[in-house]
């Protein structure tokens, strides 16, 4: 009986060795930029090769990634993305090379048999910048917040959550909402992409409530906007002789109606519908907003 069992085990081992070589590149997966294991992303199976005749040799490849264009471009090769292309389970060293990378595994056994497999890794990558905007308003006034946000990227569609919510007309849109806080407040945004990955921006809108009186504040502003209400023409006076970079007019929904790259003292708004509008003047990296009423 013992002799028969040994024969059966020997036949099983022989069949296993003679079985067809199988490469295993591992499962497809998605990586969020701020996952705890973001610096330890490995590809390949457990194991990355089975059957055939060991020992095995491994080689990973991918299509070259071309960044840029025209006369200037960068070619990213597999050696730039994986730490060892001849390892059964290499580590990903550059997650920012592309949002989606197919990796191709070729396994060769001791007899020269070859097997291939593929895995696809996708990434949620976010880009932050340190831009911020500061606005000074009087208590009871509101301000239109419409700048491009300071954190981008991820897999669309994106959702937005502005915090704190106090004083905001909408906390779930990217830009173009009003703020009317009762105290000085710094607003920041959290974005969530289609894969559930999140990124939190640094404080972006700093809305400062003036502690001086309305009359004192109006004396300190470098521009005079009149008349208000207005029917046909609105006049701008540069009290401080500041350099004017840009003049914009928005409706109350944040739609841009006028964009001037030069300073003019008289603006024709006779074709505007009756209602409230905001004129923004950019000067020396400062932005001043004034609300006026068209009658």
Answer yes or no: is pLDDT of 22 > 90: yes
Annotate 217-275 with DSSP letters as a single string. HHHH-SEEEE-SSBSSEEEEEETT-PPEEEEEEEETT--EEEEESS--SEEE-TTSPSE
The pTM (predicted TM-score) of the whole model is 0.69
Domain definitions of the chain by residue range:
18-124, 125-215, 221-295
Multiple choice CATH, 18-124, 3.30.70.1450, 2.60.40.10, 3.30.70.560, 3.30.1330.10: 2.60.40.10
Q: Quote the pLDDT of residue 295.
A: 87
Which CATH number applies to 125-215? 2.60.40.10
Q: Quote the pLDDT of residue 18.
A: 62
Task: Assess contact for 150 and 202: CB atoms under 8 A.
Answer: yes
pLDDT confidence band for 12 (50 / 70 / 90): very low
Position of tokens 């003036």? Answer: 210
What are 175-225's pLDDT values in tens digits?
Answer: 999 999 999 999 999 999 999 999 999 889 999 887 654 444 444 567 788
Q: Between 22 and 8, where is the model more confident?
A: 22
What are 88-133's pLDDT values in tens digits?
Answer: 999 999 999 999 999 999 999 999 999 999 999 999 999 998 888 8
Which CATH number applies to 221-295? 2.60.40.3080
Please tell me if the domain spanning 18-124 has the same topology as the one spanning 125-215: yes
Mean of the pLDDT values across residues 266-271?
91
- Helix then strand count (H, E) for the chain reads 3, 24
């Amino acid at each position: 009986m013992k002799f028969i069992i040994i024969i059966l085990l020997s036949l099983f081992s022989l069949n296993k060795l003679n079985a067809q070589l199988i490469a295993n590149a591992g499962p497809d997966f998605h990586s969020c930029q701020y996952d705890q294991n973001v610096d330890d992303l490995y590809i390949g199976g457990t194991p990355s090769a089975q059957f055939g005749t060991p020992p095995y040799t491994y080689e990973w490849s991918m299509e070259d990634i071309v960044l840029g264009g025209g006369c200037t471009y960068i070619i990213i090769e597999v050696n730039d993305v994986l730490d060892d292309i001849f390892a059964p389970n290499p580590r990903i060293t550059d997650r920012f090379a592309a949002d989606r990378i197919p990796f191709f595994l070729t396994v060769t056994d001791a007899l020269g048999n070859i097997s291939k497999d593929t895995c696809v890794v996708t990434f949620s990558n976010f880009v932050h910048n340190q831009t911020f905007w500061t606005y000074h308003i009087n208590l009871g006034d509101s301000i239109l917040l419409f700048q491009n946000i300071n954190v981008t990227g991820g897999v669309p569609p994106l959702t937005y959550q502005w915090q704190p919510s106090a004083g905001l007309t909408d906390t779930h849109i990217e830009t173009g909402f009003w703020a009317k806080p009762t105290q000085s407040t710094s607003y920041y945004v959290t974005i969530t992409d289609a894969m559930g990955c999140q990124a939190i921006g640094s404080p972006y809108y700093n809305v400062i409530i003036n502690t001086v009186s309305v009359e004192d504040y109006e004396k300190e502003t470098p521009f005079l906007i009149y008349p208000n209400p207005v029917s046909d023409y609105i006049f701008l006076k540069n009290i401080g002789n500041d350099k004017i970079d840009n003049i914009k007019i928005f409706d109350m929904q944040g739609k841009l109606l006028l964009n001037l790259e030069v300073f003019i003292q008289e603006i024709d708004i006779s074709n505007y519908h009756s209602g409230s509008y905001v004129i923004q003047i950019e000067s020396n990296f400062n932005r001043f907003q004034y609300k006026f009423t068209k009658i």
